[in-house]
Amino acid sequence: MRGSSLARERGPAAAMMRVGSMVLPSVTMSNQAPSNQALSKQALPPIAGCEAEILALVQQPGPVALAHTTLNLETIRSGFACALHMHQPTIPAGAQGELISHLQYMLEHPGEGDNHNAEPFAHCYKRLGSLIPQLIEEGCNPRIMLDYSGNLLWGLGQMGRHDCVEALQRLACDPALQPHVEWLGSFWGHAVAPSTPIPDLKLQILAWQHQFAALFGREALQRVKGFSPPELHLPNHPDTLFALVKALRECGYRWLLVQEHSVETLDGNGLSQEQKYLPNTLVARSSSGETVCITALIKTQGSDTKLVGQMQPYHEALGLGRQSLGTTTVPSLVSQIADGENGGVMMNEFPPAYLQAHRSIASAGHAPATVAINGTEYLELLAAAGVQSADFQAIQAVHQHKLWQRVGSLPTPAATETAIAALEASDPAFSMAGASWTNNLSWVEGYANVLEPMQSLSARFHQLFDPLVAEDPGVTATPRYREALLHLLLLETSCFRYWGQGTWTDYAREIHRRGEAAIASALAPAPAQTTAAPTP
C-alpha cells in the first residue's frame, strides 16, 4: 500500500535501507549474541524482517549434532531424552498499561496468589547454565533439551534480566556445551495449534526463529531441528495438521515431539508399547489428498511434572533394551517433557534428581548401557548407522482413521467437512479439536469472546499485509508490520484461554483492541509532504 503510512516508517535509531520506493529500517542477523543493553532497549521484539535469510539458513542440509556427539550407538542399550518447557505470557499490565512479561508482574505484585514464586521461577530459567557445566566438570555426560517460548525470551530482555539471558546465551552458544544441550523450536506466542488460524501457524514459527537468532545468533538457530508444540497440542483436523507440518518442514524442522494419546496407527489403533520408544513418521493428509510427513518422537504418559522432576525417564530407560529397526537394532528411547518451573517438584526436586541420574550413569564407566541423549543427536546417530526414515512406522493424528474411512480414497474439502459433521453428530468420542497433554481442558469451549476477535484480527492482518508483502517482502521489516504482528501473535497465547473468564480474557480484549488500532494506523494515509515556498 504505497500511499499508506507504511511507506514512511522510521525507526528512531535504526539504520535505513531502501526497498523499492519504500525506506525501511534495516533488520539484520548476526553470528554473535547482542549486548544486554541493546536487548533491554528494544521496543518491539525481533519477530519479522529476515524471513528469506532465516529460511535459507535453516533449510541447509546435513547433520548438526553428529560431529559433536560423544556417544557410541553400538554400545548403548537404551536412552532417555528429557525436555524442559519454559513460558511466561506477555500481558498489557505495566504501570502505564504497557506490554510486560507476566514474570515482571509477579515480581511487582508479590502479594497476589503465588506471585512470591517469581524469583524461584527466574532461577529455574537460568539454572541449567550452572548444572550442565557442573556435571561436565565432574566427568559426567549430561543432556537436556530446552523449549522456551518467544514471549519468555523477549520478556527476559525487557526486564533487563541479564543473569538469565547470559546463562541462556552460554547454553546456546558455548561450543563446550553443544554436545549436551539441544534447543527446541516452538511458537513465539505459545499458541495452541488446533485453534490458531491456519495462516498464522508459519508466522508463529518464523517469529520464534527471529527471536532466537536475535538472541543467540545464526549458528545457534541452524542447530535447532526439533519442534515442541505448546501444550503438545497436535491438530487432527486434516487441513490444520497439514499446514502445520508443511510449515515446519519449510522452516527447517526435521522432527517434532508428540503426546502418545494424540496419535494413532494408520488403522486407528493406539501405538504399541515398543513403538513408543522408537521414531515414527507422522503423516499429515489434507482434505484435498495432499500429504506431507515429519519424524515424530513420542512423549509417553500425561503432563505430570514429576515424570521429569524425579527423572522417571532415566529409571524407565534402565528397563529397556535394543529393538529391531530396518536392518539393524537400535537403542530404545524414552522421550519426556515437563514444565521446567511449575510446582515444587520442578523447583526443588529436579536439580538433585538430575544430578544424581547423570552421576549414576558416569559411575557405570566409559560405556554405560543407558545414557542421556538428545532428540536430534539420537536421530542422526540412527541415520549414521544406516537407519532410514522409511524404516519408521507411519502414524497419524488421533481420530483420522475414522474420518478417512468415512471420506474414502479420494478426499475433497467438501466431502471431508461433510464426514466430520456426520461423525461429530453420531460418535460422541469423535472430535476434531486435536489432542494434547491437557486433554481435560478445552481451549475453545466458553472462549468465543477470545476466539472470534482472534479470527477477526487474523483476517484483517492478512487482508492488509499479504498483498503488500507479496509485492515487497521488505514490508515485514517495518515497525507497523511488526507491531500489528506482535498483537496478533500475543492474542493467540494459550494463557488467555486457560484461566476462565475474568482478568485473562480482559487482557485478550485489550490486546485485540490494540491490534485493531495498529492495523488502522497502518491503513491511515501518509501525512502530506509540504515544501517551503522559495524565498523571493
C-alpha 239/C-alpha 413 separation (Å) is 9
Show pLDDT as tens, one digit a residue, over the chain (536 residues). Answer: 333 334 334 333 333 332 222 222 334 455 554 444 443 344 899 999 999 999 999 999 999 999 999 999 999 999 999 999 999 999 999 999 999 999 999 999 999 988 999 999 999 999 999 999 999 999 999 999 999 999 999 999 999 999 999 999 999 999 999 999 999 999 999 999 999 999 999 999 999 999 999 999 999 999 999 999 998 999 999 999 999 999 999 999 999 999 999 999 999 999 999 999 999 999 999 999 999 999 999 998 765 677 888 999 999 999 999 999 989 999 999 999 998 888 788 888 999 999 999 999 999 888 899 999 999 999 999 999 999 999 999 999 999 999 999 999 899 999 999 999 999 999 999 998 877 766 666 667 777 888 899 999 999 999 999 999 999 999 999 999 999 999 999 999 988 888 778 999 999 999 999 999 999 998 877 655 544 444 44
Pairing outcome for strands 16-19 and 22-25: antiparallel
- Residue 465, C-alpha cell as written in the block: 499485509
**Predicted pLDDT of residue 42:** 44
Q: Which of 34, 170, 144, 158 is nearest to 86 (CA)?
A: 144
Q: Which amino acid is at 353?
A: A
CB 115 within 8 A of CB 102: no
- 3-class SS of residue 466: helix
C-alpha 342/C-alpha 120 separation (Å) is 10
Question: H or E segment at 263?
Answer: strand 263-265
- Residue 516, C-alpha cell as written in the block: 485493531
C-alpha 304/C-alpha 311 separation (Å) is 12
Cα 295–chain centre separation: 16
Residue with cell 500489528: 484
Residue 287 phi/psi, 5-degree rounding, is -70, -10
C-alpha 116/C-alpha 107 separation (Å) is 7
Torsion-angle region of 14 (φ positive above 0: left; ψ -120 to 50: alpha; else: beta): beta
Cβ atoms within 10 A of the Cβ of 402, count?
A: 17
Q: Which amino acid is at 248?
A: L
CB 492 within 8 A of CB 461: no
User: 320: burial class by Cβ within 10 Å (0-12, 13-18, 19+)?
Assistant: buried
Which pTM value belongs to this model? 0.89
Cβ atoms within 10 A of the Cβ of 74, count?
A: 12
C-alpha 495/C-alpha 515 separation (Å) is 18
What are the residues facing 281 on neighbouring strands?
Answer: 295, 394
Q: Which of 509, 356, 389 is nearest to 447 (CA)?
A: 509
Cα 323–chain centre separation: 30
Give the CB-side neighbour count of residue 532, counting CA atoms within 13 A.
3
- Residue 188, C-alpha cell as written in the block: 513465539
C-alpha 310/C-alpha 352 separation (Å) is 9
Pairing outcome for strands 181-185 and 90-92: unpaired
C-alpha 119/C-alpha 347 separation (Å) is 11
Q: What is the DSSP string of 405-454?
A: HHH-SS--HHHHHHHHHHHHHH-TT--SS-B-TTTTS-SSTT-HHHHHHH
Residue with cell 480482559: 506
- Residue 52, C-alpha cell as written in the block: 528469506
